[in-house]
């Protein structure tokens, strides 16, 4: 019969294996992720969130595939799909919408949650301000969006299908958050330091950022709720720390230009020869011999600055390919994959997030409107300061000495009849157009201001555009319409059909704005 000893050995082997099998703790420990941690300090989160968030609104799909063509600062020259509004629909823009939430806004929320608990305003203050800045692009582009219940994952009491909040409620909270951020940053210690690529962690500068963003957002409501706009502008101007009024305080990210982290425009423009500056931009700037033209655009072979019209047919665009101005060499990092070599410093070009120029134009407009404690007499001063700040801002990054703008040039520019401040409604038009020029590269904000002011009036749907007018918002993400359908339906019920021409809460027309023109943005057949 069976050799007992052998049987013992066999059973022993089986039991030993079994013993391994039942050691549950050891098994579970194997599943401890060796690649990624479960907790990290706020610094590296902030660096990533700031970089990703800025790139999202300046240079990625939102800017160079959508709003640069809607704001019409650039035009397409080979594939006209975005410019003709063919590829600015839900499936084209959903990456921006989804990505903003599941990348930088989520990471900033992690910082806010942990550092509020740690009572460290030096970390959560900048995170609150930057998160609000990101949310403002979202709501300005889509209107009602998930806000109060967003970014909570599947934590207890939250839902995986957050509700959409009304834009006016979101704006109200923006003001409250920015108020808190500016106040809490007062006396805060610099805990982020170099981990903050925008201000090096400076609480004082983040205060200015919070107030300036508050001013920008306040003015956005001027048509729909002038009272609130005035109140919030007043609060922003008087906020602790003040506003960004000199270029030294500009919020900007400087890229290392190391090939991995380049200015996003430099990466995009060097890869494909698909873009030109718009003739809306060159026409406006040529009219006043704007010295920034040499920086914004490259001359054509004829030696002139000639933009290309927006939204024309592919056949028409092909005829313009060789005779229109590319964006300035400043936006190129050197050799391009399609041939020419341009400039070389574009990889390190800073992205301007919030500038002194814009703030001065905001104050000029407030003054002209006589709100926030300012009067019309002050408008010219702020207007000139805004233009000066913009010229100096771009001059500082001009690739060649010849393109730099001297004080004399600035004075000459300001003295031109088309530039010299006219006051009244004409002044508001001048402010709006100068701000639009100054906001070059910030397609999202240029679009937001254009919807509010309808200036420049030359911004109209292109001849071959698939819409009759310039889009007023973007369509909700297709992921949202499938996995968060009920919330989207409620938002649509509040806001209007989910199409490009529906207007968001603050975009009402006709408006109280004296700059408003009838038929704003509508195709005029040219």
Residues 476-505 that bind another protein (CB under 8 A): 477, 479-480, 482-484, 487
Among 169, 172, 189, 256, binds another protein (CB under 8 A): 256
State the Cα–Cα distance between residues 354 and 213, nearest whole angstrom. Answer: 8
Q: Which residues in 108-147 contact another protein (CB under 8 A)?
A: 109-110, 145-146
Nearer residue to another protein within complex by CB, 267 or 433: 267
Nearer residue to another protein within complex by CB, 162 or 444: 162
User: CB burial class (10 A; 0-12, 13-18, 19+) of residue 25?
Assistant: exposed
Among 176, 238, 321, 424, binds another protein (CB under 8 A): 321
Host H or E run for residue 165 = none
Rounded least distance, CB 197 to another protein, Å: 6
Please state whether 217 falls in left (phi above 0), alpha (psi between -120 and 50) or beta. Answer: alpha
> What pairs with residue 297 in β-bridges?
327
Rounded least distance, CB 445 to another protein, Å: 22
Q: Which residues in 151-170 contact another protein (CB under 8 A)?
A: 151-154, 158-162
Nearer residue to another protein within complex by CB, 14 or 287: 14
DSSP string, 33-56: -SSS-S---HHHHHHHHHHHHHHH
Instruction: Select from 118, 119, 151, 129 the least CA-distant residue to 46.
Output: 129
Segment near another protein (CB under 8 A), from 105-113, 232-240, 392-400, 513-521?
Answer: 105-113
Q: Which residues in 322-351 contact another protein (CB under 8 A)?
A: 322, 333-341, 344, 347
Q: Does 48 contact another protein by CB under 8 A?
A: yes
Rounded least distance, CB 455 to another protein, Å: 32
Give the 3-state DSSP-derived string for 258-287, with helices as H, strands as E and coil as C: CCCCCCHHHHHHHHCCCEEEEHHHHHHHHC
Instruction: Select from 411, 427, 443 the least CA-distant residue to 70.
Output: 443
* Backbone angles phi and psi of 445, in degrees to 5: -75, -35
State the Cα–Cα distance between residues 334 and 447, nearest whole angstrom. Answer: 29
Rounded least distance, CB 393 to another protein, Å: 21
Q: Does 252 contact another protein by CB under 8 A?
A: no
Q: Does 7 contact another protein by CB under 8 A?
A: yes
Nearer residue to another protein within complex by CB, 327 or 386: 327
Among 58, 62, 85, 97, binds another protein (CB under 8 A): 97
Among 101, 137, 296, 413, binds another protein (CB under 8 A): 101
Q: Which residues in 268-307 contact another protein (CB under 8 A)?
A: 270-271, 273
Query: What does the per-residue mask of binding to another protein show for 180-199, with x meaning CB under 8 A?
Result: --------------xx-x--
Regarding beta strands 275-277 and 74-76, do their DSSP bridges make them parallel or antiparallel, or are they unpaired? antiparallel
Q: Which residues in 418-477 contact another protein (CB under 8 A)?
A: 477
3-state helix, strand, coil in the chain (%, to 5): 55, 5, 40
């Amino acid at each position: 019969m069976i050799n007992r000893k052998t049987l013992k050995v066999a059973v022993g082997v089986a039991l030993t294996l079994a013993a391994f099998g039942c050691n549950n703790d050891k098994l579970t420990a194997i599943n401890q992720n060796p690649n990624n941690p479960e907790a990290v300090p706020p610094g590296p989160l902030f660096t990533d969130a700031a970089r990703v968030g800025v790139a999202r609104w300046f240079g990625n799909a939102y800017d160079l595939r959508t709003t640069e063509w809607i704001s019409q600062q650039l035009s397409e020259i080979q594939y006209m799909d975005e410019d003709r509004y063919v590829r600015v629909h839900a499936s084209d823009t959903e990456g921006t919408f989804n990505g903003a939430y599941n990348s930088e806004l989520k990471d900033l929320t992690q910082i806010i949650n942990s550092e509020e608990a740690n009572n460290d305003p030096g970390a959560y203050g900048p995170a609150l301000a930057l998160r609000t800045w990101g949310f403002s692009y979202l709501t300005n582009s889509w209107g009602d969006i998930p806000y109060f219940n967003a970014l909570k994952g599947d934590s207890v009491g939250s839902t995986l299908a957050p509700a959409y909040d009304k834009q006016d409620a979101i704006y109200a909270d923006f003001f409250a958050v920015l108020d808190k951020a500016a106040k809490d940053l007062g006396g805060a210690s610099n805990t982020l330091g170099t981990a903050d690529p925008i201000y090096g962690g400076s609480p004082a500068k983040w205060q200015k950022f919070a107030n300036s963003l508050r001013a920008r957002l306040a003015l956005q409501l001027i048509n729909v709720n002038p009272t609130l706009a005035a109140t919030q502008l007043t609060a922003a101007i008087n906020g602790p720390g003040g506003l960004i009024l000199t270029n030294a305080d500009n919020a900007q990210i400087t890229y290392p230009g190391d090939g991995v982290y380049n200015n996003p425009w430099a990466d995009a423009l060097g890869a494909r020869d698909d873009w030109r500056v718009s003739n809306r931009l060159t026409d406006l700037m040529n009219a006043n011999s704007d010295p920034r033209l040499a920086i914004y655009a490259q001359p054509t072979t004829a030696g002139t600055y000639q933009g290309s019209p927006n939204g024309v047919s592919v056949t028409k665009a092909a005829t313009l390919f060789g005779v229109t101005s590319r964006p300035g060499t400043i936006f190129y990092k050197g050799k391009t994959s399609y041939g020419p070599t341009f400039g070389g410093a574009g990889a390190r070009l800073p992205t301007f997030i919030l500038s002194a120029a814009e703030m001065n134009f905001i104050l000029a407009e407030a003054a002209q409107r006589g709100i926030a404690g300012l009067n019309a007499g002050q408008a010219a001063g702020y207007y000139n300061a805004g233009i000066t700040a913009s010229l100096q801002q771009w001059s500082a990054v001009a690739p060649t000495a010849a393109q730099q703008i001297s004080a004399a040039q600035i004075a000459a520019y300001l003295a031109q009849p088309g530039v010299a401040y006219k006051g009244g409604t004409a002044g508001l038009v001048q402010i709006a157009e100068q701000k639009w020029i100054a906001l070059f590269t910030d397609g999202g904000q240029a679009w937001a201001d254009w919807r509010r002011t309808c200036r420049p009036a030359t911004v109209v749907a292109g001849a071959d555009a698939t819409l009759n007018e310039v889009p007023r918002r973007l369509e909700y993400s297709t992921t949202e319409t499938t996995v968060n359908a009920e919330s989207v339906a409620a938002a649509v019920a509040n806001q209007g059909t989910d199409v490009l021409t529906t207007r968001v809460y603050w975009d009402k027309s006709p408006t109280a704005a004296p700059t408003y023109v009838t038929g704003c943005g509508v195709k005029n057949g040219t």
